[in-house]
């Protein structure tokens, strides 16, 4: 098959490798001149994955037989747009894809269907103070149609919104920003698969983020199982099924983000994709279900084993898995711990860098500042933490003066990677 892949970043590498292993011709769409995945594909077209029409024309020209993306929000809409026009298989209609990638429509469906979400308002550049009279500060300001925590700010006043709104809008194709009341919370992420309307929850993880005014929501790690899983499972499952019904979702991967606070569970946002924190690698470790293979087979119009989900029960899963997304202080890179050395550490299953010697590390503003990741397992929470710390002890990214630029958890003004009640 001639397959078009939207996005050539690090989270797409495993997808492209699997497509090549299955003997597909891969046409990559990525606006960068030299994306990470470029050397793995047959053809690279320097087109933005956000440009629906340009991608469609390229797909038509190259007579593609399938289109796919992984770990990134907005290209899901482009996939649906192209698939609809070329009559290719895709698990969402164009309208469904719009509702799960644009918060203008997403929030409207939440409210209409009584799905719990934080109080919000939509603002334009020339907003008046009166539009915020019913909103309590602090607030979180977001683009309605972006990804990777770009353009997200925590603001304490109307003046601060005005100061930041242009930057937020710069990451959007809309002329409105989303203003949400800040809801103190623990954040969890749910990964799953829908098959003919039937839900299988594969994982619920604690999503630990940097607490910073100018890098809101940037993820540090995903830890399975969430310490909130057992005590909140009934409510988590109920809300998830309500979302699936409200959005008329029938097939495909789900990646839903929830906020747990004093007023209960609130839905942060939803996505119909495999998670961008390398869930294509962690799901087989956690559930023994290759969710990436399912996504590829959906594109190929091939049926998978219908009994695949029959015996899986997340509440009985006794595995402990963490995906650590690491960041660096600013500086120029001279050398890094060899990957093979890190893989020798107990419990470490996967390691990768998104940087190279000679690169300059800039300040953390959004998820694109990530410099690498490792996935580690343990026999318990405490053993998992021990294995994580051992790996971090061996991890270095040195600058020209021999200083280790890696930021460890003690450097962040936030709670540790696990909530204390989950330790045992």
Indicate the domain borders of the chain.
2-90, 119-181, 186-422
Decide if pLDDT at 302 tops 60: yes
Q: 2-90 — its CATH code?
A: 3.40.50.20
Superfamily of domain 186-422: ATP-grasp fold, B domain (3.30.470.20)
CA dihedral 80, 217, 135, 109 (to 10 degrees): 20
Q: Does residue 3 sit in helix, strand or coil? A: strand
> pLDDT tens across 45-97, in order?
999 999 999 999 999 999 999 999 998 889 999 999 999 999 999 999 999 99
Predicted confidence at residue 411, as pLDDT, reads: 42
Decide if pLDDT at 115 tops 50: yes
Residue 235: Cβ-neighbour burial (10 angstroms; 0-12, 13-18, 19+): middle
Nearby residues of 225 by Cβ (< 8 Å), 6 or more positions away = 203, 204, 205, 314, 317, 319, 320
Q: 119-181 — its CATH code?
A: 3.30.1490.20
Dist. CA 229–CA 255, nearest whole Å: 16
Asked whether this chain's domains 2-90 and 186-422 adopt the same fold, the reply is no
Dist. CA 108–CA 54, nearest whole Å: 29
Predicted confidence at residue 363, as pLDDT, reads: 86
0.85 surpassed by pTM: yes
Nearby residues of 130 by Cβ (< 8 Å), 6 or more positions away = none
Predicted confidence at residue 367, as pLDDT, reads: 79
β-strand pairing of 186-195 with 198-209:
antiparallel
Q: Are 216 and 365 in contact (CB under 8 A)?
A: no
Cα within 13 Å of Cα(254), Cβ side = 30
């Amino acid at each position: 098959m001639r397959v078009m892949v939207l996005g050539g970043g690090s989270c797409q590498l495993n997808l492209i490798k699997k497509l090549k292993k299955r003997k597909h011709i891969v046409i990559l769409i990525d606006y960068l001149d030299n994306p990470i995945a470029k050397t793995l594909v047959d053809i690279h077209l320097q087109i933005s994955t956000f440009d629906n029409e340009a991608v469609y024309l390229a797909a038509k020209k190259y007579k593609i037989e399938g289109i796919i993306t992984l770990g990134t929000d907005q290209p899901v809409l482009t996939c649906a747009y192209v698939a609809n026009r070329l009559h290719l298989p895709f698990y969402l209609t164009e309208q469904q894809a719009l509702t799960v990638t644009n918060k203008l429509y997403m929030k409207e469906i939440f409210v209409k269907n009584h799905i719990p979400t934080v109080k919000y308002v939509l603002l334009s550049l020339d907003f008046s103070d009166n539009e915020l009279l019913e909103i309590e500060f602090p607030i979180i300001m977001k683009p309605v149609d972006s990804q990777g925590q770009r353009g997200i700010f925590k603001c304490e006043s109307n003046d601060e919104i005005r100061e930041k709104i242009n930057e937020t809008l710069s990451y959007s194709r809309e002329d409105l920003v989303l203003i949400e009341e800040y809801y103190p919370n623990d954040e969890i992420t749910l990964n799953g698969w829908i098959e003919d309307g039937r839900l299988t929850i594969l994982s619920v993880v604690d999503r630990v983020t940097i607490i910073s005014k100018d890098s809101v929501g940037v993820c540090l790690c995903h830890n399975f199982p969430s310490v909130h899983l057992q005590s909140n499972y009934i409510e988590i499952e109920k809300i998830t099924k309500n979302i699936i019904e409200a959005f008329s979702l029938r097939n495909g991967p789900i990646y839903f983000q929830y906020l747990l606070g004093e007023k209960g569970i609130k839905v942060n946002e939803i996505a119909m994709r495999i998670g961008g924190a390398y869930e294509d690698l962690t799901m087989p470790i956690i559930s023994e279900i290759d969710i990436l293979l399912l996504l590829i087979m959906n594109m190929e119009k091939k049926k998978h084993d219908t009994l695949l989900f029959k015996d899986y029960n997340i509440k009985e899963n006794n595995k402990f898995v963490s995906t650590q997304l690491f960041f660096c202080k600013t500086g120029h890179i001279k050398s890094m711990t060899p990957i093979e050395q890190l893989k020798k550490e107990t419990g470490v299953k996967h390691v990768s860098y998104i940087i190279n010697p000679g690169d300059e590390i800039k300040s953390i503003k959004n998820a694109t500042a990530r410099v690498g990741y490792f996935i580690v397992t343990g026999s318990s929470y405490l053993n998992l933490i021990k294995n994580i710390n051992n790996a971090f002890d061996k991890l270095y990214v040195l600058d020209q003066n021999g200083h280790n630029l890696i930021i460890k958890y003690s450097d962040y003004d936030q709670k540790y990677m696990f909530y204390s009640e989950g330790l045992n």
